[in-house]
Structure 1
Amino acid sequence: MNTGSRVPKNLKLGANVFNAHAQAAQYAYNYRLTLGSAAQSGATCHSLEPVSARFALTAGF
């Protein structure tokens, strides 16, 4: 998501928010929820990137 606003004519304030819901890796893994429970298998995911934001102030001449 990108957003921006011009304060005076020569200044621009902007913000970018990055929120990807992709996985960098997904693999099958056997795990136990407790020590006495039976092993279960399922998909385990590692997220690509966390939510991040970038703010910018641009001056034009």
Structure 2
Amino acid sequence: MITLSIHSSLEAIEFLAAITTKLAENGISVNAVSAYYNDHLFVSVENVDRAFQLLLEMSHSTDGK
């Protein structure tokens, strides 16, 4: 489980959609769960390192891609 430790609105579906799309484009299946304060991403153990790398790249990108 990867927890996205930013407080996002439950209505901010574009945020989670962008993340799950990026992971899917890189062959990583994800089950996303939106909770009240955080979003959680469940990825297979063999994909955790690559998923973290992609999320880090996205966090440094100015266009969110």
Structure with larger Rg: 1
TM norm structure 2: 0.24
Higher fraction of helix: 2
